[in-house]
């Protein structure tokens, strides 16, 4: 593809991704736009996905552009080794130029080569927390050895940054909604205590805190229990 045409393709792809992020409908849809862009923009990429690891037993492959990507994530999960895991939980980037000669992940490498994959490039996502509840990686797979030159790595890093921003925004929205729900539960519990014991809001909150401390239970959980019990008959 001529340089001018490629530059236009790259510009159009990033404009589309920015539009998707500015007018989100579904996080998985946005991530699929990113993985599709990786396949379209990087000539060597045959398939791409995002691997999300919530804990040792919960791996999720999302926005997969082919069954091969999900299959390779599953292989890494079963064997507990592979570039996508390394990128998700540790390294900023994991690159294998030729899995036939790579000794870092012997079981994964054997299975990947059998599946026709010779090069892998994975970028870490979810870098905004020291102890994230979920870790992730954007993963690019190629049937060619030595597939990812510096230009490919630069474009991959740009797309990974976009994917990380999407996941960070989703995480913060979830935290915000959780905080709203917690505040609502505490407010309802305070109101029930005020009505039952004829105290003001400050005293009701003090009683909630004391109950939380005495029972070694989170304040929001105490509030939820009070709300669930309902008003006194």
* Residue 222 phi, psi dihedral angles, 5° rounding: -60, -45
Say if domain 176-229 classifies as CATH 1.10.10.10: yes
Q: How far apart are CA 161 and CA 117, in angstroms?
A: 24
Q: How far apart are CA 60 and CA 152, in angstroms?
A: 25
Complete edge-to-edge strand list for the sheet that includes strand 47-55? 58-62, 47-55, 135-142, 119-125, 93-96
Structural contact between residues 59 and 42, judged by C-beta atoms closer than 8 angstroms: no
Q: What is the pLDDT along the chain (233 residues), one digit of tens a residue?
A: 556 665 555 565 556 655 555 555 578 888 999 999 999 999 999 999 999 998 667 899 999 999 999 999 999 999 999 999 999 988 789 999 999 999 999 999 999 999 999 999 999 997 555 555 678 999 999 999 999 999 999 999 999 988 988 887 766 555 545 555 667 777 787 788 888 888 888 887 888 888 888 888 887 787 788 878 876 55
Quote the strand ranges of the chain, DSSP E. 47-55, 58-62, 93-96, 119-125, 135-142
Q: How far apart are CA 45 and CA 43, in angstroms?
A: 6
Q: How far apart are CA 192 and CA 147, in angstroms?
A: 64
* Annotated domain spans of the chain: 3-173, 176-229
The CATH H-level (homologous superfamily) assignment of domain 3-173 is GAF domain (3.30.450.40)
Count the neighbouring beta carbons within 10 Å of the beta carbon of residue 66. Answer: 14
Identical fold at 3-173 and 176-229?
Answer: no
Instruction: Tell whether pTM > 0.85.
Output: no
> Secondary structure of the chain: what % helix, strand, coil (to 5)?
60, 15, 25
Structural contact between residues 128 and 92, judged by C-beta atoms closer than 8 angstroms: no
Question: What length is written for the chain?
Answer: 233
What's the Rg (C-alpha) of the chain?
A: 24
């Amino acid at each position: 593809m001529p340089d001018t045409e490629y530059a236009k393709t790259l510009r159009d792809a990033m404009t589309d991704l920015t539009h998707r992020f500015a007018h989100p409908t579904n996080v998985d849809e946005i991530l699929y736009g990113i993985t599709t862009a990786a396949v379209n923009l990087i000539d060597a990429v045959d398939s791409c996905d995002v691997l999300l690891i919530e804990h040792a037993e919960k791996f999720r492959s999302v926005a997969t552009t082919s069954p091969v990507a999900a299959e390779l994530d599953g292989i890494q999960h079963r064997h507990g080794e592979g570039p996508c895991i390394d990128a998700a939980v540790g390294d900023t980037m994991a690159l294998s130029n030729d899995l036939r000669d790579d000794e870092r992940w012997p079981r994964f490498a054997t299975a990947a080569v059998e599946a026709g994959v010779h090069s892998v490039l994975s970028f870490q996502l979810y870098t905004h927390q020291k102890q994230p509840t979920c870790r992730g990686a954007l993963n690019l797979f190629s049937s060619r050895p030595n597939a990812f030159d510096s230009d490919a790595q630069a474009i991959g890093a740009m797309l990974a940054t976009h994917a990380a921003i999407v996941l960070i925004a989703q995480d913060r929205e979830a935290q915000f909604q959780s905080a709203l729900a917690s505040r609502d539960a505490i407010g309802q519990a305070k109101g029930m205590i005020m009505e039952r014991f004829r105290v003001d809001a400050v005293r009701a909150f003090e009683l909630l805190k004391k109950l939380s401390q005495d029972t070694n239970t989170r304040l929001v959980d105490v509030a939820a229990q009070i709300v669930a019990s309902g008003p006194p008959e």
